[in-house]
Amino acid sequence: MAASRGELLGLTADELAALMVDWGEKPYHGRQLYGALYRRRQLDPESMTELSRSLRRKLESCVISLPRLQKRQRAADGTEKYLLELADGEKIECVLIPERKRNTLCISTQAGCPLDCRFCLTAMLGFGRNLNPAEILGQILYVLADRNLAIYSEGDGSRPALTNLVLMGMGEPLLNLDNVLKTLIILADPGGMAFSPRRITLSTVGLVPQLRKLAQAPVVPNLAVSLSATTDEVRDRLMPINRRYPIDTILRACADYPLKRNQRVTFEYVLMDGVNDSDDDARRLVKLLARLRSKVNLLPLNPGNANGLRPSPPERVNRFREILTGRSLPAYVRKPRGMDIYAACGQLHLAAGHHSRTTRTSRLDAIS
């Protein structure tokens, strides 16, 4: 049950226990190894001193590796973007967003993206492949080590802690659902990384069958849905996946998503001048979300878009928000972070300069 190339990262406690049995060891050694990898983040077998010397020698034949840093950029606001290379040469990006009381890490679930959202620079990369759990977790482990961060649940105040995770980087998480679900189990396991699901957010365009599977998963994160339109006609143009899963279908799935007390589904709405930012759009959005426990994050379009779209002017953004809040729909204008290094939402594209692909591979009919 070991992963390809003998990779140990990404294996669950049960898989590591089974691996130990295959090796003629006791199953509990799998739990010890699991704690060493994820709880104590020990990647060198020699540091796992609770294991016998003979078992540590066996582990030396396995792979315990993190992605390699290709480039790091730091924005004027302190946001840091990491370009990371995977074992097969694929490149991905993740972003650390520091704030006064919290530190958020935005991680990728795919190399590139197969969707073709018109306002997203990442879409221009095309699609490489899904990331496996080791590669998703590897982003987190790399940044924790690089910045000497604790995880919030283990922090004692002596060093800054990583408090929030968002699966909002490159790719559509629900197109890589099996690997994402396995990652979430390891993240949330008290014997693993002990990251509360309440501090993990998954962002999706709204793939309805996978969204319903996520709602029934062992670990259910916060849900953020990229909506960005109030009519199917406009969303079809901005987000072609809407032709398969239109707005009403997505909202019905969101209505069934399990929410704990004080939780809401977040709807991300990228405001584009003259496209989706009218007063009528705001009123329609209120009507669409009226029966949902929801909130809206308003994001002015990032500059540098290649499709001729323009960000809504500040006065239009404020007016849009006023209409929402005036009708009791919580709405927040999110200040883009790391824009000067293209680290804001929908801007991850630095890998394009290092990418082996020269054509886009986005195809709606490839989305199951």
Instruction: Provide the phi-psi class of 157: left if phi over 0, else alpha when psi is between -120 and 50, else beta.
Output: left
52 and 85 inside one domain: no
* pLDDT tens track for 123-160: 777 888 999 999 999 999 999 999 999 998 887 778 89
Domain count of the chain? 2
152 and 233 inside one domain: yes
234 and 113 inside one domain: yes
| Residue range of the domain that includes 52 | 4-59
75 and 54 inside one domain: no
Phi, psi of 226 (to 5 degrees): -80, 110
* pLDDT tens track for 330-365: 999 988 665 554 545 555 555 445 444 434 444 455
| Selection from 2, 5, 9 nearest residue 64 by Cα | 9
H, E, C per residue of 160-216: CEECEEEECCCCCHHHHHHHHHHHHHHHHCCCCCCCCHHHEEEEECCCHHHHHHHHC
89 and 41 inside one domain: no
100 and 180 inside one domain: yes
> One digit per residue, pLDDT tens: the chain, 368 residues?
344 348 899 999 999 999 999 999 999 999 999 999 999 999 999 999 999 999 999 998 898 889 999 999 998 888 999 999 999 999 999 999 998 889 999 999 999 899 989 888 877 778 889 999 999 999 999 999 999 999 988 877 788 999 999 999 999 999 999 999 999 999 999 999 999 999 999 999 999 999 999 999 999 999 999 999 999 999 999 999 999 999 999 999 999 999 999 999 999 999 999 999 999 999 999 999 999 999 999 998 877 655 788 999 999 999 999 999 999 999 999 886 655 545 455 555 554 454 444 344 444 555 55
111 and 241 inside one domain: yes
Q: 127: domain CATH number?
A: 3.20.20.70
Task: Tell me, yes or no, if 90 is annotated catalytic.
Answer: no
Task: Tell me, yes or no, if 254 is annotated catalytic.
Answer: no
88 and 50 inside one domain: no
Residue in 62, 120, 254, 345 annotated catalytic: 345
Residue in 7, 25, 93, 268 annotated catalytic: 93
54 and 182 inside one domain: no
51 and 142 inside one domain: no
Single out the residue in 17, 36, 59 at which a domain terminates.
Answer: 59
Single out the residue in 33, 59, 85 at which a domain terminates.
Answer: 59
111 and 255 inside one domain: yes
Against a cut of 0.85, is the pTM above it? yes
305 and 257 inside one domain: yes
